[in-house]
Chains A and B, each alone.
Chain A
Amino acid sequence: QVQLVESGGALVKPGGSLRLSCAASGFTISDYFMSWIRQAPGKGLEGVSHITSSGSTKYYADSAKGRFTISRDKAKNSLYLQMNSLRADDTAIYYCARHWKGLPDYWGHGTLVTVSS
């Protein structure tokens, strides 16, 4: 069955960096559009970044442009999000999601990123 398991979330100081990982099983990530979606405490969902199945197109929300980088490793069947220059407003649960018909169908359980001094 489809499973997505995120890891890498942590408490980090403003200006710091983190690399989130999402290990997929039950399907091949390079066959699907994949994304990172975050949810700040008590807030709604925000699409942060996505990568098309071909890998040729990567999208970043304005809040992530220039600071975050999405990538994938076909051999490890994993998706990554490198986050640099972290700010307090990046504090959120970060979900990895597989897309079907343009929008997420399966979500991971999420990993918590807290940016605080």
Chain B
Amino acid sequence: QSVLTQPPSASGTPGQRVTISCSGTSSNIGTNTVHWYQQLPGTAPKLLIYNNNQRPSGVPDRFSGSKSGTSASLAISGLQSEDEADYHCAAWDDSLNGQVFGGGTKLTVL
């Protein structure tokens, strides 16, 4: 059982916009920033969004993040087949004094 809650799956067709939610509590998302990771099949997670809505160098601007209260969202616009992957959210939890993750969302491009 993951501390942060994500939908197990999401899907969209090429060119569409999809969003993935991440729900937490006041001790994690409510207080701290959220990172998002993309995990392509058979590979390690890669940082996609940091500090709620910042993109590392090299990440296309099709990817965007937002946070409100104890929830965060990842949006992917202009969906492409290469976006098919698992997406994980993460935050620091002040009560646990450690990092916590969502269960991951498997994105399928139809």
Show the binding face of A for B, using Cβ within 8 Å.
35, 37, 43-47, 50, 59, 61, 95, 100-110
* B contact residues around A104 at 8 Å (CB): 35, 37, 45, 47, 90, 99
User: Could you tell me which B residues sit within 8 Å of A by CB distance?
Assistant: 2, 32-33, 35, 37, 43-47, 50-51, 56, 88, 90-92, 97-104
Residues in B neighbouring A37, C-beta threshold 8 A: 99, 101
CB distance from A84 to the nearest CB of B (A): 21
Residue of B nearest to A110 (CB): B44
Question: Is the CB–CB distance between B45 and A102 below 8 Å?
Answer: no
Q: Which residues of B contact A61 (CB under 8 A)?
A: 98
> Do the beta carbons of A95 and B99 come within 8 Å of each other?
no
The answer to whether A102 and B44 touch across the interface, beta carbons within 8 angstroms, is: no
Given A59-B98, A95-B45, A109-B44, also A43-B50 (CB < 8 A): no
Contact B33 A105 (CB under 8 A): no
